[in-house]
Amino acid sequence: MKQVGILITTGTILLLLVGCNQGTGNFPVTPDSMDPEAGITSCVENLSDRGKYLNWGNYQFNIARDGTNSEVIPLRTTTSWGIHLNALKLLEDHPCSDCVRLKNVHLLDNGDVSVDIEITHPWPYNNKFCTGFDVCGIIMFPSSQNWPDQELRILMGLEPWEGSHWERWSDNDLGDAELMNAENWTLLWCPDKNWIEYEAEIPQGFPIFEYFPGHYSSGENIGTYNPFIRFYTNENRHMFEVGKSDTRTYIIRPPSQGDIEACYAVYAHWAVPINTPVIDPSVDFPPEANSPMPYEFYITQDELLDPDAPTVEQANHLTWHVKMWIDPIEDTGCSVVDLAYGGALGGNLHHHPSGEQDDYIFPGFTSQYYGKLEDPWPGEYTYIFNIRSDTPGETHDYLCTTKFITKIAFKESDGSW
């Protein structure tokens, strides 16, 4: 399987083609080989048998906190990996000279700022061969909420966290700008994630890591868990068709001080079509053109949880709404962690007792760590719900994790169940 991605920069397109053979190699690039149906321009080591996360562009946003003005700044950097192509003529001929636009920016009554973000398919060929799948727009703010939360660990009576594994995300309660209508959170394209600890697991030359040195998303304490919203022009397989645009509304709560500043990255999935020329992308692309991750994932709570109840009883009142292109029962692993990382419970989803399609429960849930706080109940506490692609034989599944971060509400404890 081969995968192709593009990185839009000023006057340049970086074309990346990933092959299933071992080793790396470069092939001559001529104008004829720019035809996306012509075949190979570069081969690197295999990423995954389910498709690759592909970068469609990186930007910086500056938005006035009162919604009166905004700007999009393409991040004018390149990467040392890949083949650099002179794409000026392609950019001039293609309608997408500005692939990301901010529109209809205005202040809401509650002080939030509403921003419509329009993404246009960036590929310079009006060719269905270049159809994208499961496109997401990731917004990245300066972030203050650390995970594990050191202060919370101390309040729980846990030892201070001394591991090298730290994450963070933006939280308006701590003064950050925050996306209030996030669909999910991801680690992909975060600016300064320290992947050194995973070097033993990751194959050498793993191309995705070339996007992480900080050139593409930069700023003071930008989040590593960053929220995103999904884009598609055709609901069938969530395809993003060539020559088309899609617009989604982002509701942003401004930071406690100053205007809204954010980095923005767009990614897509793609795989070599099984039929060429591509006539109907919904059938001419294989299943692995879609992401192995959920295209819809959120948690709902149907009643206040009883902190005295057994774990399985608490879990029964938290519904996981999950829609995936693969069977989530067979091909995913799940976990739930508290804000202090007092404990992580992992396992698999179970069908919801209601029998509703796409509804599941996850028995691995517990209130025991927040129960260590002084007088904790009633209360609302943050949990991180994770769905990870279980691809047998792969070592980089940690990258392929979708997160949903929310507060779970508990009623008062009466000491019995």
Q: What is the DSSP string of 115-127?
A: EEEEEE---SS--
Q: Is the same domain home to 279 and 318?
A: no
pLDDT at 219 over 80: no
Is residue 78 within 8 A of residue 316, CB to CB? The reply is: no
Residue 2, token pair as written in the block: 């081969």
Q: Do 42 and 146 fall within a single domain?
A: yes
pLDDT of residue 31: 27
**With contact defined as beta carbons under 8 Å apart, do 47 and 208 qualify?**
yes
Give the pLDDT score at 382: 97
Residue bearing the bigger pLDDT, 221 or 31:
221
pLDDT number for residue 373? 96
pLDDT at residue number 58? 65
Residues of the chain with pLDDT > 90, as a percent, come to: 41
Answer yes or no: pTM beyond 0.85: no
Would you say the C-alpha torsion 38, 42, 48, 51 has a positive or negative sign? Answer: negative
Q: Measured between alpha carbons, how far is 99 from 135 in angstroms, rounded to an integer?
A: 13
Q: Cβ(38)–Cβ(29) under 8 Å? A: no
Asked if the model's pLDDT at residue 243 lies above 90, the reply is no
287 and 313, same domain (yes or no): no
More confidently predicted of 233 and 78: 233
Q: pLDDT value at position 130? A: 80
Residue 16 has pLDDT above 50, yes or no: no
- Taking 60 as the threshold, does the pLDDT of residue 362 lie above it? yes
Position 149 scores a pLDDT of 95
Q: Which residue among 262, 291, 320 closes a domain?
A: 291
**Average pLDDT of the chain, as a whole number:** 74
Asked if 19 contacts 282 with a C-beta cutoff of 8 angstroms, the reply is no
Given a contact cutoff of 8 angstroms between Cβ atoms, the answer to whether 15 and 6 are in contact is yes
- Report residue 43 as tokens: 């081969």
**β-bridge mates for residue 410, sequence order:** 305, 379
State the pLDDT confidence band at 399, using cuts at 50, 70 and 90.
low
Give me the pLDDT at residue 125, please: 59
Residues 306, 316: contact at Cβ < 8 Å? no
Give the residue from 291, 313, 330 where a domain finishes: 291
| pLDDT confidence bin for 51, thresholds 50/70/90 | very low
Which of 92-101, 273-282, 322-331 has the highest average model confidence (pLDDT)? 273-282
CA distances from 152 to 225, 339, 371 (A): 19, 8, 12
Residue (of 404, 331, 339, 327) closest to 367 by Cα position? 339
**Whether residue 41 has pLDDT greater than 60:** no
Higher pLDDT, 317 or 50: 317
Q: Judge if 286 and 315 occupy the same domain.
A: no
Q: Which of 268, 291, 314 is the endpoint of a domain?
A: 291
Q: What are the tens digits of pLDDT across the range 303-349?
A: 999 999 999 899 999 999 999 998 888 878 899 999 999 877 788 89
Whether residues 143 and 171 fall in one domain: yes
In degrees, rounded to 5, the angle at the alpha carbon of residue 364 between the alpha carbons of residues 361 and 369 is: 130
Q: How high is the pLDDT of residue 271?
A: 78
The answer to whether residue 302 scores a pLDDT higher than 80 is yes
Q: Is the pLDDT of residue 143 over 60?
A: yes
pLDDT-derived band of residue 15, with 50, 70 and 90 as boundaries? Answer: very low
Q: Which two tokens stand for residue 158?
A: 């846990």
| Number of domains comprising the chain | 2
Tell me what the mean pLDDT of segment 382-405 comes to: 74
How would residue 390 be classed by pLDDT, with cut points 50, 70 and 90?
Answer: low
CA distances, 263 to each of 62, 66, 128, 145, 227 (Å): 9, 19, 29, 17, 11
Same domain, 81 and 197: yes
- CATH number of residue 309's parent domain: 2.60.40.10
Q: Average the pLDDT over each of 112-116, 289-293, 348-352 and give the range with the smallest value.
A: 289-293
Residues in the chain: 417
- Please tell me whether residues 81 and 226 are part of one structural domain: yes
- Identify the three-state secondary structure at position 282: helix
User: How large is the average pLDDT for residues 100-107?
Assistant: 90
12 and 76 inside one domain: yes
Give pLDDT, residue 326: 85
- Per the structure, the complete domain to which residue 410 belongs is given by 292-417
SS3 of 209, please?
helix
Distances (CA, A) of 339 to 68, 164, 317, 410: 36, 16, 20, 16
Same-domain status, 250 and 307: no
**261 and 150, same domain (yes or no):** yes
CA 353 → CA 96, 320, 359, 404, distances in Å? 48, 12, 9, 22
- The per-residue pLDDT for 26 is 25
Does residue 235 sit in the same domain as residue 316? no
Residues 368 and 391 in one domain: yes
Confidence of residue 407 (pLDDT cuts 50, 70, 90): very high
Stretch (H or E) spanning 319: strand 318-323
